[in-house]
Amino acid sequence: MSISTVTFQNDALNDLQALEAAMSQTQNQLSSGSQLQNAADNPVAMSEVNQLNTQLSASQQYVTNGNTASANLTLEEQALTNATNVLQSAQSLATEANDGALTSSNLQDIATELEQQLQQLISIANSTDSNGNYLFAGQASGTQPFAQSGGSVGYSGSTGVNQVEIGANQFISAGDTGSSVFMNIPAGNGTFTTAAGAGNTGTASIDTGTVTDPGEWAEDSGTYTISFTSPTQYVILDSDDDTVASGTYTSGDAIAFDGIQVTITGTPATDDQFTVAPAGTTSVFSTLSSLISALGSTTLNSGQLTTQINAAEQQLGNALNNFDNVQASVGARINAVTAAQSSAQSEQTTLQASVSQLSDTDYAAATTQLSTEEIALQAAEESYASIAKLSLFNYLA
C-alpha cells in the first residue's frame, strides 16, 4: 500500500502535536501543582474532587457559624454573670431591710440603692455585641428589648432565637430571649404566692410557705383566704367562700391545709386577712420595683412590709436560680460548639487529604513523564526531518 506525501506529513504533524500537547499538560501539572486542569483530564476524579470540595466548604461554614455563636454566647455568659452580681447585692439589701429596728430613713436609703441596681439590671438586659445587636432581643436583635415606663419594665424583643447550624443537622440556639431570662420567673415558691391584706391593721406577717403534699394541692382551686375572726382564731376559705379549715392561732406555728403550709408571725387584728394563690410568673424588674415601692411606702404597717420583703427575697432567689439555669445552658452550648468545631477540623483534614490525593501532582512521576515525553518528541522530530528529505531518487540511487 502506498502512502502519499501529504498523508505522511499530516500524520507526522498530528503525532508531533499530540506529543507537544502531552508535554505541555505535564508542564502545567508541574507548574500548577494540580494534575486536574479540567474535567477532561480525569472525569471521575474531577467529580469526586467537586463532591469533596462541597463537603469541605460546608464544614468550613460550620466552623464559621460556631465562631459567631460562641462569641455571642460568651458575651451573654458575661452579661448573666453581671446580672447575677447585681441580684445578689439586691438580695443582701432585702435581707438587711428585713430588720424591724430600721427607721424609715434607713429603708429609704436601701430603696435608693435598689433603684440604682434596677437601672444597672435594665442596662445589662439591653447589652449589645460589637455590631450593636441586642443580646437578649431574640430574633429581633436590632430592637432594644427592654424599656422602663414609670415603675414597670416592658419587653419588646422576640420570643424566638436564631438557630445556628454547627454541624451536619446539628443546631444550637445562638442566644436566649429576654423574656425567658428576665421576665418569666416563677412567682412565690413556684407553686403558690402569699400576701397580706391591704386593709390589715395588725402586725402579723406571712412567709412564702412550702408544699407538704403535692398530691393534695390543686392549682385550679383559686385563691385561699386566711381570715382572723379574732387575734387568736382563724378560718380558711376557698375561692367559693367555703370553709377549708379553722383553728387557734399561735405566732410562728405552721398553718397547714390542702397539701401546703404557711407560717404567720406577729399579732394579727380581728378581720385581718392573708391570701394564698396559685403561682404564675413575674419579672425580676417587677420584683425590684415592688420592693423599692414597699421600702419607700408610708402606709404599710410592719406586718405588711415584712410580708412584702419576704416575698421579694424569695422572688430574687427564684430569679437567681433562673440565671444559673440559663448560664448552665449557655456553657453547655459553648462546649457543644467547641466539640463540633474540633470534629469539623478533623473532618477538614481528612477531606483535604483526599482532595490532595486525587488532584495534586506527583512531582516525581510527572518529572519522569516529562523527561520521557521530551525524548519522544525530540526523536519524533528528528525522524520526521530525516524521512521528509527522502524521495524516489534516493530509493533509485
Provide the residue-wise pLDDT of the chain in tens; the chain has 397 residues: 555 555 555 655 565 555 555 555 655 655 555 655 555 555 665 567 667 667 777 778 888 988 999 999 999 999 999 999 999 999 999 999 998 889 999 999 999 999 999 999 999 999 999 899 999 999 999 999 999 998 899 999 999 999 999 988 889 999 999 999 999 999 999 999 999 999 999 999 999 999 999 989 887 778 999 999 999 999 999 999 999 999 999 999 999 999 999 999 999 999 999 999 999 999 999 999 999 999 999 999 999 999 999 999 999 999 999 999 999 999 999 999 999 888 878 776 776 666 656 555 545 555 665 566 556 556 555 565 666 555 545 555 4
Q: Measure the CA–CA gap between 170 and 336, rounded to whole angstroms.
A: 10
> By CB neighbour count within 10 A (0-12 exposed, 13-18 middle, 19+ buried), where does 34 fall?
middle
Rg of the chain (C-alpha set): 41
The residue type at 135: L
CB of 106 closer than 8 Å to CB of 146: no
The structural domains of the chain, with segments of one domain joined by +, span: 36-187+280-359, 193-279
Q: What is the pLDDT of residue 344?
A: 78
Question: How does the average pLDDT of the chain come out, rounded?
Answer: 84
**Cα distance between residue 128 and residue 141, in whole Å:** 9
pTM metric for this prediction: 0.78
Name residue 203's amino acid: T
SS3 395: helix
Q: What 3-state class would DSSP assign to 397?
A: coil
Which residue is listed with cell 412564702? 208
Residues 6+ apart with CB under 8 A from 67: 341
Any idea which fold 36-187+280-359 has?
f41 fragment of flagellin, N-terminal domain (1.20.1330)
